[in-house]
Structure 1
Amino acid sequence: MSADGPEIRTFLCRSDNIGVLIRDPATGACAAIDVPDAEPVLAALDEAGWTLTDILVTHRHGDHVAGIPEVKARTGAKVTAPAKAGNAVPDVDRSIAEGDRVEVGMLEAEVWETPGHCADHVSYIFRNAGVAFAGDTLFTLGCGRVMEAEPETLWHSLERFLVLPDAMKVYSGHDYVLANARFALAADPGNAALQERMAEAERLKAEGGFLIPSTMAAEKATNPFLRAAEPDLARAVKLDPGTDPEKVFTALRAWKNRF
């Protein structure tokens, strides 16, 4: 990887999607993580003066891939997408699966299959650069809605993130931070660190920003879905402390669906 580390820009797409560009300053290679909409991605590239070389797709849902044809036509970027998405992602050049690696210049990412939100979901872990792109699997203070699996499947995907270093920055696919924070406080009201993060999220929102990226340290301390092993979260869903975290997570996710 580049000795200088990656350059990263985040911006809103559509109403609440997060657009992300990651660039290797050593080579000039630059990737978009998903393309929810072409216009904001192209505008961000123009503003930065960067040349797009790659599009890394996390999953096949339309709000993550709709802008790919226009952006590829304008930039010639290579599209990398989950093999399990089949033909649902347009203009794919390379299909990837668990254990594959992708490069953006000298930056290298591990491909993790992280199903639960949908069956084809992958996350890109740039371990040496200290950044992870979790798409709709892990959100700041939340997690994705389970759509094509049992809740346990998403829990096992989330468990993988728990082993990442505390300093790892995590970029999610949507800005659901305030809604997630309200639920987190309902589930974990005595968490002082969570109360501080809610205040920070509200301040950033008022300034036109968002609490993305997060860090694994912050998520381990405040995200109720990653804290399913904590006795307080078991009690919040009326389960005995010591209940299997998978069952606590399932109860939390069902509660969030109704929240």
Structure 2
Amino acid sequence: MALELVTIPCLSDNYAFLLHDDESGATALVDIPEAAPILAVADARDWAITEVWITHHHADHVQGLPEVLTAHGAVVRGGAADAHRLPPLDHAHAGEETFEFAGHTVRVIDVPGHTTGHIAYHVAAAGVVFTADSLMALGCGRLFEGTAEQMWASLQRLMALPSETTVCSGHEYTASNAKFALTIDPDNSDLISRSMAIDAARAAGEATVPSTLALEMATNPFLRASDPNIRARLGMTDASDVQVFAEIRARKDAF
């Protein structure tokens, strides 16, 4: 039986995710921006949260954990590099480690840039990757701690996943990201279509997360540093990919 994915809006623009295996009853929670909406969904579905997977240390991704653990006796996983500033972990994982969830292999991917200890979780059996604030819908996380070189390398690791992979990112920033993307890649017909669909979805109160890796690679300017049209528009035809990426990130920071 396929793993079931549920997207849970939290706070003003965060997302948490539940990944449920019906056969075993195991349920993983990815990030904990606030407890109430997560517990409401779990209770409504009669799911016991058995694991919590933390992507990075920022408060809007961990602050609901104590209340969740009071209600559910879950095992907590997170990045080994950030163990000193995460809530207490039962399992601390380095990049490229794997662990088993309900008989399914979960790969941990190092994705520094937004923070130096950020990790992502790829569950091939579900065709999903939980990227939080590394690869985002039409964007990437601001470089609060890491460098452009680190983030570009992180995005390349994620781009190597199968194109049909569902990308579960951490925030509803897609509409503003689309406005910026159109300043970088204005003639991209896929981006124009996506921007219109995003506006319609938000007008209807619908989420724009998750997305797919194929859609991100076709429309997300942060993944398109090698595109000749973008390079020409930026006046960076002869620059390296990471230099183009850094310029796009700097422009977004000032947008």
**Normalising by the residue count of structure 1, what TM-score does the alignment of the two structures yield?**
0.95
CA contact 1:30–1:52 (8 Å) conserved in 2: yes
> Residue 142 of structure 1 aligns with which residue?
139
2:90 is aligned with 1:96: no
Distance in 2, matches of 1:162 and 1:52, equals: 30
Instruction: Give secondary structure in 1 for the equivalent of 2:107.
Output: strand
Distance in 2, matches of 1:121 and 1:94, equals: 15
| Offset of residue 128 of structure 1 | 2.8
CA contact 1:6–1:107 (8 Å) conserved in 2: no
CA contact 1:152–1:246 (8 Å) conserved in 2: yes
> Residue 126 of structure 2 aligns with which residue?
129
Distance in 2, matches of 1:35 and 1:102, equals: 20
| Offset of residue 235 of structure 1 | 2.1
CA contact 2:83–2:89 (8 Å) conserved in 1: no
CA contact 1:83–1:97 (8 Å) conserved in 2: yes
Match of 1:202 among 184, 199, 203: 199
Look up the equivalent residue of 2:112 and give its one-letter code: P
2:166 is aligned with 1:169: yes
2:241 is aligned with 1:245: yes
Instruction: Give secondary structure in 2 for the equivalent of 1:128.
Output: helix
> Residue 116 of structure 1 aligns with which residue?
113
User: 5+ unaligned residues in a row in structure 1: which ranges?
Assistant: none
Distance in 1, matches of 2:19 and 2:99, equals: 13
| Offset of residue 218 of structure 1 | 0.5
> Residue 252 of structure 2 aligns with which residue?
256
Write the mapping of 1:1-259 to structure 2, written as runs, cut at 5 A: 4-240=1-237, 242-259=238-255
CA contact 1:225–1:249 (8 Å) conserved in 2: yes
CA contact 2:99–2:105 (8 Å) conserved in 1: yes
| Offset of residue 91 of structure 1 | 3.1
**Normalising by the residue count of structure 2, what TM-score does the alignment of the two structures yield?**
0.97
CA contact 1:109–1:127 (8 Å) conserved in 2: yes
| Offset of residue 117 of structure 1 | 0.4
Aligned length: 255
For the aligned residue pairs, the C-alpha RMSD in angstroms reads: 1.1
Look up the equivalent residue of 2:215 and give its one-letter code: A
| Offset of residue 33 of structure 1 | 0.4
1:166-225 deviations in Å (ceiling 9; x for gaps): 111100011110011011111100001001111111111122112211111101100000
| Offset of residue 15 of structure 1 | 0.7
Distance in 2, matches of 1:236 and 1:66, equals: 41
CA contact 1:69–1:91 (8 Å) conserved in 2: no
User: 5+ unaligned residues in a row in structure 2: which ranges?
Assistant: none
Distance in 1, matches of 2:32 and 2:191, equals: 31
Distance in 1, matches of 2:217 and 2:131, equals: 15
Instruction: Give secondary structure in 1 for the equivalent of 2:9.
Output: strand
